[in-house]
Amino acid sequence: MNNSNNKRETFSSGLAVFFATLGSAVGLGNIWKFPYMVGENGGGAFVLIYFICILLVGMPIMISEFYIGRSTRKNAVGAFEALKAKPFWKTIGYMGVLSSLFIMFFYSSVAGWVYSYVFKALKGDFLPLASMSMEDAALNASSQYDAAVSGSISPFVWQFIAVTVVSIILIAGVKNGIEKITKTLLPLLFALVIICCIRALTLEGAKQGLSFLFLPDFSKLSASAVLSALGLAFFKLSLGMGTMTTYGSYFTNDNNLFATSARVALSDTLVSLLAGIAIFPVVFTFGMEPGMGPGLLFKTIPLVFSKIPLGNVLLVAFFILTSIAATTAMLSLVEVPVAFFIEEKQMSRNKAVLLSSGLILIIGLLTVHPKSVFGNVVIAGKGFFDLFDYLSSNIMLPIGGLLITIFVGYVANKDQLSYELSNHKTLNNDGMIKFYISILKYITPALLVIVFLNSIGIINF
Ligand code: PHE
């Protein structure tokens, strides 16, 4: 961010805007969540519905959040005041604070697993896979995962480390440095995922893996899968909870909001698809179960690298880069409650960070692993891990998104909206603006409502 103007910080250039926004979007969602949800929900048909959600729900909402943030240059709660909206609309900001805590409860434990995998790979825990038969290697990778995540102490320690790293960065305010790191490391992560893909595509089960990922079979698609695809689109693009509003508030005035949202959505989706291309061939080659759930990434990636030259070095690099992607996403998540406590509750930055991390660690203990100490506690048919995931992605973010859609589509002043989206009339994009407004008014909210009604069984399609 650029300090040269002393009114309020902005990102230094269009490229910085792109990478910072992508740094929030790209994270465990691409590498860990997308593949396992595709696996659990039957493959290609889920991917297709996910694309539709990104295009018709995600992108219009991202543009709307950018608009709210950049036109007011305020945080997610203050922005609605600045737009002279009724107090009700601040609910979006408050709900965002809650959503980000709910997401962090489970996200930080998965980040802990990823950190622990860096050390497992460094210690050479996966080296023996190279000389094993396929069956034994698959069994070994699975049992290593089970042991790593269900231990009685170490998962808590790793989660604690992950949250501490995030807190230190937030307190030290070295975000500038982080932005620079993201700029180099995101392309590296991208390159490494491509290497994984190339390796995976040489495996026997490559064809089956690709068909699973890309050929839609609608008979496998349930109503709850459609809601999950929608929730995943929100989670992936960090939408519906104020993150993109806050980021938008740092954008430069000449940034084309349409182009940024398209670039971010496209790059993010590409990373998810590449992760899928790297993982599903392994699943079919080694006779694994695509619907195995949250362990999918951890049980397959060590196998991808097991029998190639420099495999263990690449494995270490893969988990380091994934840890960094998870950490930059967590920075944007925790910044939401931190900014709220500072600006609305007049706390110091240190106190705000400590309070947020404290809450995350105490309640996050419950989620360390679905099979750990608290794994037997079930509320509404779900363990804590699934419960926080379900409530945030499938309920709170889409409701936040619906409110944002209604606010920008029906309440906000359209002249001001067009003025902002045309970068104060310096862009000649009237057609684009009209097109966006009609999608936002009619298509996005209709889809959101239909998916909700469908998932609770009021309508069926
Ligand atoms: N988009 C991030 C990911 O996919 C998660 C996230 C959600 C970050 C919401 C910020 C806000 O990993």
What are the structural domains, with CATH classification, of the chain? 14-455 (1.20.1740)
358 half-sphere exposure, CB direction, 13 A CA radius = 6
Answer whether 251 contacts ligand 1 (Cβ < 6 A): no
Identify which has the larger pLDDT, 129 or 173. 129
Question: In the predicted model, is pLDDT for residue 458 greater than 90?
Answer: no
Q: How far is the CA of 431 from the centre of ligand 1 (A)?
A: 31
Q: How far is the CA of 236 from the centre of ligand 1 (A)?
A: 5
- Cα torsion through 455, 448, 46, 261, rounded to 10: -160
Q: CA-CA distance, 94 to 91, in Å (whole number)?
A: 5
Nearest to 16 by CA among 317, 319, 254: 254
Lowest-pLDDT range of 8-17, 153-162, 268-277, 399-408: 8-17
Q: What is the pTM of this model?
A: 0.93
* Count of beta carbons in the 10 Å neighbourhood of residue 33: 23
Answer whether 333 contacts ligand 1 (Cβ < 6 A): yes
Q: Count of H helices and E strands in the chain?
A: 22, 0
Answer whether 27 contacts ligand 1 (Cβ < 6 A): yes
Q: Locate the ligand 1 atom nearest the alpha carbon of residue 32 and give its number.
A: 12
Question: In the predicted model, is pLDDT for residue 237 greater than 90?
Answer: yes
For the four alpha carbons of 13, 19, 20 and 22, in that order, the dihedral sign comes to positive
Lowest-pLDDT range of 2-16, 283-297, 311-325: 2-16
Token pair listed for 256: 């084309």
Q: CA-CA distance, 431 to 461, in Å (whole number)?
A: 33
> What average pLDDT does range 16-45 have in this prediction?
93
Q: How far is the CA of 234 from the centre of ligand 1 (A)?
A: 8
Q: CA-CA distance, 35 to 88, in Å (whole number)?
A: 37
> What average pLDDT does range 418-433 have in this prediction?
96
In this prediction, residue 348 has a pLDDT band, given cuts at 50, 70 and 90, of very high
Q: How far is the CA of 243 from the centre of ligand 1 (A)?
A: 9
ipTM tops the 0.95 cut: yes
Q: CA-CA distance, 231 to 42, in Å (whole number)?
A: 16
Answer whether 28 contacts ligand 1 (Cβ < 6 A): yes
Predicted confidence at residue 3, as pLDDT, reads: 44
Question: In the predicted model, is pLDDT for residue 438 greater than 90?
Answer: yes
Predicted confidence at residue 116, as pLDDT, reads: 96
Answer whether 29 contacts ligand 1 (Cβ < 6 A): yes
Q: Tell the residue nearest (CA) to atom 7 of ligand 1.
A: 238
Q: Which residues contact 2 (CB under 8 A, 6 or more apart)?
A: 9, 10, 11, 12
Question: In the predicted model, is pLDDT for residue 5 greater than 60?
Answer: no
Q: CA-CA distance, 284 to 134, in Å (whole number)?
A: 11
Answer whether 108 contacts ligand 1 (Cβ < 6 A): no
- Give Cα separations from 396 to 153, 340, 390 (angstroms): 31, 18, 9
Bridge partners for 379 per DSSP: 382
**Residue 130 CA to chain centroid, in angstroms?**
32
> What average pLDDT does range 198-222 have in this prediction?
94
Question: In the predicted model, is pLDDT for residue 7 greater than 90?
Answer: no
> What average pLDDT does range 52-74 have in this prediction?
96
User: H or E segment at 113?
Assistant: helix 91-123
In this prediction, residue 6 has a pLDDT band, given cuts at 50, 70 and 90, of very low
Question: In the predicted model, is pLDDT for residue 10 greater than 70?
Answer: yes
Crossing angle of helices 349-364 and 311-345, in 10° steps, is 120
Predicted confidence at residue 286, as pLDDT, reads: 93
Predicted confidence at residue 368, as pLDDT, reads: 64
Amino acid identity, residue 180? K
Question: In the predicted model, is pLDDT for residue 2 greater than 50?
Answer: no
**Residue 223 CA to chain centroid, in angstroms?**
22
Q: Tell the residue nearest (CA) to atom 11 of ligand 1.
A: 238
Q: How far is the CA of 287 from the centre of ligand 1 (A)?
A: 31
Answer whether 329 contacts ligand 1 (Cβ < 6 A): yes
> What average pLDDT does range 356-385 have in this prediction?
75
- The residue to mutate among 28, 105, 297, 332, having the most atoms of ligand 1 within 8 angstroms of its beta carbon, is 332
First-to-last alpha carbon distance for the chain, in angstroms, is 47
Nearest to 400 by CA among 94, 71, 78: 94
Q: Locate the ligand 1 atom nearest the alpha carbon of residue 27 and give its number.
A: 12
Predicted confidence at residue 183, as pLDDT, reads: 78
Predicted confidence at residue 177, as pLDDT, reads: 66
Crossing angle of helices 44-53 and 257-285, in 10° steps, is 170
Q: CA-CA distance, 113 to 117, in Å (whole number)?
A: 6
> What average pLDDT does range 437-460 have in this prediction?
89
Nearest to 246 by CA among 325, 120, 383, 340: 340
Q: How far is the CA of 392 from the centre of ligand 1 (A)?
A: 11
Answer whether 103 contacts ligand 1 (Cβ < 6 A): yes
Answer whether 332 contacts ligand 1 (Cβ < 6 A): yes
Q: CA-CA distance, 421 to 417, in Å (whole number)?
A: 6
- The residue to mutate among 108, 238, 297, having the most atoms of ligand 1 within 8 angstroms of its beta carbon, is 238
Predicted confidence at residue 269, as pLDDT, reads: 98
